[in-house]
Amino acid sequence: QQPVQSPQAVILREGEDAVINCSSSKALYSVHWYRQKHGEAPVFLMILLKGGEQKGHEKISASFNEKKQQSSLYLTASQLSYSGTYFCGTGAAGNKLTFGGGTRVLVKP
């Protein structure tokens, strides 16, 4: 079942913060976050495996709630390079990922 991402799109000024949410109706094995630039392949950001886990990658961090049904990606002090579409991928049995609908992020100068 496809996870639900929100918002669908967000426009930021450089230096502003944003939060992207990813939720599922059932507990997840893992959550993966990727960023895709237009016309390019997705690039891995991070994986969260444990309930309550938090991770960071430069000024981008993510959390996985205790029940493992919701994850949030935090863009802090956004840079122009953060523009792109962010996808969460949720893990289930079978070693495959199901991706959310994506959140388009545009960072303006």
Q: Which residues bind another protein (CB under 8 A)?
A: 2, 29-30, 32, 34, 40-44, 47, 49, 87, 89, 91-102, 104
- Look up tokens 């579409």; give the residue: 85
- When the beta carbons of 74 and 99 are compared against another protein, the nearer one is 99
- When the beta carbons of 12 and 22 are compared against another protein, the nearer one is 22
* Least Å from the CB of residue 89 to another protein: 7
- Integer distance in angstroms from the first to the last C-alpha of the chain? 37
Asked whether the beta carbons of 68 and 11 are under 8 A apart, the reply is: no
* Least Å from the CB of residue 34 to another protein: 8
Cα separation, 13 vs 9, whole angstroms: 14
